[in-house]
Amino acid sequence: MPDLNSKLYVVIGLGNFGTAVATTIANAGVDVIVVDKDPLAVQEIAEVVPHAVCADSRDIEMLKEAGVRDADVAILSMGSSLEASVITILNLKELGVPTIIAKANNERYKFVMESIGADTVIQPENEMGQRVGISLINPKITDIYQVTSDFIIMEIKVPELWQGRKISELNLREIYGVNIIGIRKEDTKKVDININKDTILTAQDYLTIAADATRIAALNLD
């Protein structure tokens, strides 16, 4: 596993999303540079992130002066300006930043950003809405991570109907498109991945499962 503390991150755009990402990285003791053209936003975050630079990311020379060319990962959160996002991504590519993660407001923006070289494009509002919807459908889901639009990893409390049964007896993959990848006991945070088809599920188990998002509504968790 790579040492995250040895990497240099840059966060461009200090809206709610960018500020949250930058603050989280900085609080973890990881080196991060933040860039925004709004001096007030830069001033406000400077207490948390020492390397806060007031600059226009559309100007490649300003990015060079900010030290962005040394970054291993760039997280781009430019709000509603597609033009600014496109120019910034092109600048980051020219500066040789290895990994570019961009925030998009809609599918059109996502398509454009991916087309010009963004490695990962996320839609936080859309993904959060999907997570909330899935949680409402199945209240026994305790945590969800949306990998793609049709694939999720989530943790669920073992349904009563599954308790005392072997994994192989449930046919979860065939019926629901579900694969159990780990089990956690309710009194611990450690997930045990050493499971097999003969593992018997108990009432104290929480399952980490990889699932087809389009079939979650049919998953019987009662």
Regarding whether 180 and 113 lie in a shared domain, the answer is no
Q: Which of 95, 209, 67, 213 is nearest to 150 (CA)?
A: 213
CATH code at 151?
Answer: 3.30.70.1450
Report pLDDT for 190. Answer: 82
Choice between 56 and 128, residue whose per-residue pLDDT is larger: 56
Q: Which of 71, 97, 122 is the last residue of a domain?
A: 122
Average model confidence (pLDDT) across the chain: 85
Based on the domain organization, do 61 and 133 belong to the same domain? no
Check whether residue 98 and residue 22 sit in a common domain: yes
Domain membership of residue 145 as a residue range: 127-218
pLDDT given for residue 177 in this prediction: 80
Strand partners, 184: 206
Based on the fold, state whether residues 105 and 153 are members of the same structural domain: no
Number of domains in the chain: 2
Tell me the pLDDT tens digit for each residue of 21-50: 898 888 878 899 999 999 999 999 998 898
- pLDDT (0 to 100) of residue 155: 85
The pLDDT of residue 6 is 67
Closest to 112 in 3D by CA, of 139, 135, 89, 142: 89
Q: Which amino acid makes up residue 214?
A: T
pLDDT band of residue 16 (cuts 50, 70, 90) is confident
**pLDDT recorded at residue 5:** 52
Are 166 and 110 part of one and the same domain? Answer: no
DSSP assignment, residue 166? Answer: B
114 and 153 together in one domain: no
Whether residue 94 is found in the same domain as residue 150: no
Domain end (from 63, 91, 122): 122
Return contacts of 31-34, CB within 8 angstroms, 24+ apart.
31/5, 31/7, 32/8, 33/8, 33/9, 33/66, 33/67, 33/68, 33/71, 34/10
What is the rounded average pLDDT of the residues 52-64? 96
